[in-house]
Amino acid sequence: MSKEEIITRLAQSVIDGEPEDAVELAKQALDEGLDPLVCINQGLTAGINRVGELFASGEYFLPDLIIGGEAMKAALAVLEPALAGDQERQILGRVVLGTVRGDLHEIGKTLVGTMLTANGFLVTDIGIDKPAADFVSAAREANATLIGASALLTTTMPEQQKIVEELKEAGLRDQVRVMIGGAPITQGWADKIGADGYAEDAISAVALAKQLVGVPV
Amino acid sequence: MPGLEPIRPQLKLEVLNPDELASIKAATLHVLEQVGIHVPSERALRVFAERGAQVDRESQIVRLPPGLVMDAMNLAPRSYQLCGRAAGTELALDGTASYFCTDGCGVYALDFETGQQRASCKDDVAKMARVSDYLSSIAFYWPMVSAQDHAWTAPLHELDASFNNTVKHVQTETVMGEKAARYAVRMAEVIAGDAADMRARPPLSSLICTIAPLGQDRQGIEAGMVFAEAGIPVGFMSMPNMGLTAPVATGGALAAASAEVVSAMVLMQLVAPGAPTFYSIVASVMDPHSANYINAIAEKYLCHVAGVQIAHDWGVPVLGGAFGAQNLEAATWQHGRDSVYNSLMVPLAGADIVVGLGLLRASTLLVPEQIIFDDEIYHTCRILARGIDTSDDGLALDVIAEVGPRGHYLAQRNTRQHLRSWWFPELSHPQRPMHESAPPDIRRRARAKLDKILREHQTQPLDDAATAELQAILEAAERELDA
Ligand code: B12
């Protein structure tokens, strides 16, 4: 297989959502001496961008999006360790993402995580039912620029406010932007608690995250 | 309170035959034994372990041997009563009638005065309880929205507003956690008189959601155990979103959902043998782009009916799902279309209790007059379910003979007598020819009826002592829970 062909097929394995093929092709690429950064940028990233386009145009469904993201992650796990010391995959920002304390709704949060990852963010998903303090400490550890907090219950919304407050207390408010979401959340609530933004679905969450880290949308 | 008019179906609907029911039960037992259920509660894990379930403390996964499941489910009663605080509010869950309640737990309301959308509050719960007290379609009350003007005690304030404004049975969907449940039990004792009366005539019941796929909510089951021990009927609802939190195919979705519900019911029987419990599956299909529920899709209606049959196959009462339209506005084609299948199919399948009338936008928005629209659909279904009367009275041969060819039936006592007991769709067919003309816009007609109820209907009040006791319980709860 030619080098171009390997890269095209890497992209295609993400588009088709075939994690096993993606891993095989990534290994093959390294065996053939291809530059892992080129494989990532021209293969995997090109593939996931195409997946995003197909999803946005309505042709692809969520499982296509999620399994495409998994194919990308699986191949990345092979390629990233092979990057030369001075090479680095371009990351738009580090995000700590979770669902707040008392709240077990996980699906929306996970979807947002998948879309952010597919679009070049490095996401640390801390899971569901997490108190504000966990968001803050995870943000500190991950050196995050963004916190994403999901709340689906009106009774758990106040925990989003606590995140903003505890970030201030920890002296991290200047470094970390806070975005919030979930069915009962509105822009009004975001303004009220001093969060930096609100998005109503996973696609607009990506646009919001880009805007908050200063990347053109 | 005008008398209740439950649906007593003569027509029957089945979507599963006995072989299909057996294969779903076998699949459910298989999932419970082989795959297991996530049970994140120390207390529940202890109970399961003591009774011979295979419990993995680390992963909090419980696997239930079929014998344990069958024995526990055999303890669950098929029939019992839900009661209100006045005569005529008793609901016998015995397979002869379907009793409907309001939809619940919405988060927004269109303001009663301004019509502007805002966050829901306790007064909305109270007003709609009074409307529900009046409507004969509503047999029991789910607090329709969240009392967001209160913090952690909001669920208890919802009960307070409900008990004060309707004599009908109240079912909570939001009281979670052991502590809140204990306060709710005390409130129910006040309504019933004492603990013994509360067991005999429970004025409160509770519905708790399982966490699809194959999980329980700690706060939910811990509240459930408190309720079961106190004799408050407690039900579990699985809300599988097919393709997302359950297999995309209906059979697998039902088996997995059933495993969630049955495992919780088994737990209740282990802590309180013979406790009144009920079963519920409200399934839907995922929107393949947003993962939200598609609220009005054929597979959902099939699963709702199947859920009723599966519950009865286990020998327990069932809460079915109906109404709950997706649309944003009252009085649209979509609202009628979304509501009408379930609200007919679920009672025809024999659901003992059914939720619920009155919310829009997938159960999140209270449009006050919506309940009037749903009331009309309900009564239409009620009459449909009765079928055709072929009794002597129904065939009316004597009247046919008396009128004979070329006469008319207007002068017949039989006509007069029957028409008096008929139900007429006054919203879609306003009939006040002699009086002032009805507003031409159907939404305004619905609103006029709602306003009339709010203006004129007074709920039989609680006595002052009970009101004061409820208030004292709320204050104690606020000190403990809101702190
Ligand atoms: C599915 C569901 C459940 C499932 C959750 C399964 C799971 N593993 O997650 C189960 C059945 C377990 C469940 C349980 C309960 N639920 Co529930 N649930 C829902 C439901 C129907 C859909 C939620 C969902 O997954 N939507 C699909 C996803 C894709 O959408 P989403 O979550 O909104 O996320 C999108 C956006 O909001 C946004 N977003 C989300 N998070 C974030 C974060 C950031 C940073 C950003 C930028 C954007 C963003 O992007 C997402 C992707 O597009 C909603 C109703 C609704 N219409 O929202 C009720 C709802 C949220 N639940 C409700 C209730 C009451 C409960 C229970 C208390 C019920 C009970 N009696 O037990 C329990 C609570 C359990 C707990 N402690 O959390 C109420 C809340 C009402 C209120 N007053 O707060 C709702 C509104 C339904 C209702 N009207 O009754 N629920």
User: Are the C-beta atoms of residues B298 and B285 closer than 8 Å to each other?
Assistant: no
Q: How far is B103 from chain A (nearest CA, A)?
A: 17
Whether A138 and A115 map to the same domain: the answer is yes
Task: Give the pLDDT score at B11.
Answer: 94
Contacts of A201 in chain B (CB under 8 A): 290
CATH code of the domain in which A20 resides: 1.10.1240.10
What is the SS3 assignment for B25-52? HHHHHHHHHHHCEECCCHHHHHHHHHCC
pLDDT at A7: 96
Alpha-carbon distance A167 to A164, whole Å?
Answer: 5
* pLDDT for the residue B291: 86
Q: Is the domain of A42 the same as that of A132?
A: no
pLDDT at B436: 61
A88 within domain boundaries = no
Q: Give residue A152 CA to ligand 1 midpoint distance, Å.
A: 5
Q: HSE (CB half, 13 Å, CA atoms) of B224?
A: 32
Atom 53, ligand 1: which residue's CA is nearest?
Answer: A201
Answer yes or no: do A66 and A141 share one domain. no
Alpha-carbon gap, residue B136 to A100, rounded angstroms: 41
DSSP 3-state of A197: strand
Query: In chain B, what residues touch A102 (CB-CB under 8 Å)?
Result: 219
Q: What is the identity of the amino acid at B394? A: G
Q: How many residues does chain A have?
A: 217
Check whether residue A175 and residue A100 sit in a common domain: yes
Query: What tens digit of pLDDT does each residue of B379-414 get?
Result: 999 999 999 999 999 999 999 999 999 989 998 999
Domain boundary among A82, A104, A131: A82
Q: Which of A21, A48, A82 is the last residue of a domain?
A: A82
Provide the number of CB pairs (under 8 Å) joining chain A to chain B: 35
Instruction: Report residues of chain A scoring pLDDT below 50.
Output: none
Q: How far apart are CA A210 and CA A207, in angstroms?
A: 5
Angstrom distance (rounded) from CA B68 to CA B52: 8
Please identify which residue in the block is written with the tokens 């939809």.
B103
Is the backbone peptide bond immediately before A216 cis, with ω within 30 degrees of 0?
A: no
Distance, CA of A120 to CA of A216 (rounded, Å): 13
- List ligand 1's pocket residues with C-beta within 6 A: A 102-109, 111-112, 148-150, 152-154, 179-184, 199-202, 205, 208; B 105-107, 146, 173-174, 208-209, 211-212, 217, 219-220, 239, 241, 245, 290-293, 362-364
**From CA B76, how far away is CA B36, in angstroms rounded?**
21
Ligand 1 centre and the CA of B3: distance in Å? 36
Q: How far is CA B264 from the centre of its chain?
A: 18
Per DSSP bridges, beta strands B319-321 and B353-357 are parallel
Q: What residue in A sits closest to B243 (Cα-Cα)?
A: A63
Do residues A10 and A65 both lie within one domain? yes
Q: Quote the DSSP letter at residue A150.
A: E
Pick the atom of ligand 1 nearest to B292's CA: 27
Q: Is residue A102 part of a domain?
A: yes
Q: pLDDT in tens for each of the 483 residues of chain B?
A: 889 999 999 999 999 999 999 999 999 999 999 999 999 999 999 999 999 999 999 999 999 999 999 999 999 999 999 999 999 999 999 999 999 999 999 999 999 999 999 999 999 999 999 999 999 999 999 999 999 999 889 999 999 999 999 999 999 999 999 999 999 999 999 999 999 999 999 999 999 999 999 999 999 999 999 999 999 999 999 999 999 999 999 999 999 999 999 999 999 999 999 999 999 999 999 999 888 888 889 999 999 999 999 999 999 999 999 987 777 777 788 888 888 899 999 999 999 999 999 999 889 999 999 999 999 999 999 999 999 999 999 999 999 999 999 989 998 999 999 988 899 998 988 876 545 666 778 999 999 999 999 999 999 999 999 999 999 999 999 999 877
Are A56 and A106 within one domain? no
Distance CA B308, CA B311 (A): 5
Q: Which residues of B touch A62 (CB under 8 A)?
A: 244, 286, 288-291
Closest Cα in chain A, distance from residue B363 (Å): 12
Of B140, B171, B139, the closest CA to residue B158 belongs to B171
Those residues whose C-beta lies under 8 Å from the C-beta of residue A15, and which sit 6 or more positions away, are A47, A50, A51, A54, A68
**Ligand 1 centre distance from Cα of residue B393 (Å):** 52
Residue A206 structure tokens: 């990506």
* Residue A147 domain-assigned (yes or no): yes
Q: How far is CA A52 from CA A59, A60, B227, B337, in A?
A: 10, 9, 48, 34
Cα-only R_g, chain A: 18
Residue A165 maps to which CATH number?
Answer: 3.40.50.280
Residues A100 and A204 in one domain: yes
> What is the pLDDT of chain A when averaged over all its residues?
93
CA A60, CA B112: separation in Å to the nearest integer?
42
Chosen domain end from A58, A82, A106: A82
- pTM of the shown model: 0.87
Residue A87 lies inside a defined structural domain of this protein: no
Contact at 8 Å (CB) between B228 and B201? no
Task: Provide the token pair at B129.
Answer: 């309880």
Contact B53, B68 (CB under 8 A): yes
Q: Is residue A73 part of a domain?
A: yes
Alpha-carbon span B305 to B133, nearest angstrom? 28
Q: Return d(Cα A117, Cα A94) in angstroms, integer.
A: 10
CB B210 within 8 A of CB B264: yes
Residues of A in contact with B146 (CB under 8 A): 154-155
A56, A162: one domain = no
Cα separation, A195 vs A187, in Å, equals 9
Domains and CATH numbers, chain B: 1-387+429-483 (3.20.20.480), 392-422 (no CATH)
Q: What total number of domains does chain A contain? A: 2
A61/B289 Cβ within 8 A:
yes
Q: Which residue among B149, B175, B176, B239 is best mutated to probe the pocket of ligand 1, counting the most ligand atoms within 8 A of its Cβ?
A: B239
Contacts of B243 in chain A (CB under 8 A): 63
Q: State residue B437's pLDDT score.
A: 67
Residues in chain B with CB shorter than 8 Å from the CB of A55 are: 289
List pLDDT tens digits, range A98-114: 999 999 998 889 889 98
Element (H, E) at A89: none
Q: Do A97 and A75 lie in a common domain?
A: no
Domain that holds residue A37: 3-82
Consecutive H or E run containing B386: helix B370-386
Query: Does residue A198 sit in the same domain as residue A98?
Result: yes
- pLDDT value at position B250? 96
In a domain, A217, yes or no: no
Q: Cα(B289) to centroid of ligand 1, in Å? A: 16
Q: What is the pLDDT of residues A140-152, one digit of tens each?
A: 999 999 999 999 9
Terminal Cα-to-Cα distance of chain A (whole angstroms): 36
Mutate to test the interface with A, among B214, B290, B364 (most CBs of A within 10 A): B290
Residues A111 and A205 occupy one common structural domain: yes
CA of A184 from ligand 1 middle (Å) equals 9
B304 within 8 A of B238, measured Cβ to Cβ: no
Asked if B65 and B96 touch (Cβ cutoff 8 Å), the reply is: no
**Closest protein CA for atom 70 of ligand 1:** B209
Alpha carbon separation from A213 to A15, A145, A189, B179 (Å, rounded): 27, 7, 21, 43
- Which helix (H) or strand (E) segment holds residue A5: the answer is helix A3-16
Whether residue B82 contacts residue B233, with contact meaning beta carbons closer than 8 Å, is answered with yes
A66 and A111 inside one domain: no
